[in-house]
Amino acid sequence: MPYHPRAWLAHKRNVKPGLNARTKIIMALEEEPGLTIAQLSERTGLSYSAIRHHLASLEREGIVARSGRRPFKWALTGLGQARLTEF
């Protein structure tokens, strides 16, 4: 599986399982912004805790942001969208 260009993080070690997981998450959010962790888990086949872990990393990098009250809805940020168009 080719990795999504935004799956690479600047402040975290990038290993294959993490890159695969972040690629799935980013692609799901590209298709449908505003998904909850549970919805992302259903669409990607990743566990709830894995999604939460990777979303926290992506949020620290400014690629995704949460909105609303719990359960939070997640979407790519303007920075995340801009980074997507770089490639």
Which CATH number does the domain housing residue 10 bear? 1.10.10.10
What gap in Å lies between CA 58 and CA 2, rounded to an integer?
18
The Cα 14–Cα 41 span in angstroms is 21
Q: Does position 14 have pLDDT exceeding 80, yes or no?
A: no
Counting the structural domains of the chain, the total is 1
Q: Report how far Cα 46 is from the mean position of its chain's Cα atoms.
A: 12
Burial class (CB in 10 A: 0-12, 13-18, 19+), 43: middle
Question: pTM above 0.85?
Answer: no
Question: Domain limits at 14?
Answer: 5-85
Render pLDDT for 56-79 as a digit per residue (tens, 0 to 9). Answer: 999 999 999 999 999 999 999 976
Instruction: Specify the pLDDT at position 27.
Output: 94
Q: Which of 14, 4, 9 is nearest to 61 (CA)?
A: 9
Q: Given this model, what pLDDT does residue 13 score?
A: 74
**Token pair for residue 8?**
């690479």
Report pLDDT digits (tens) over 22-36.
Answer: 999 999 999 999 999
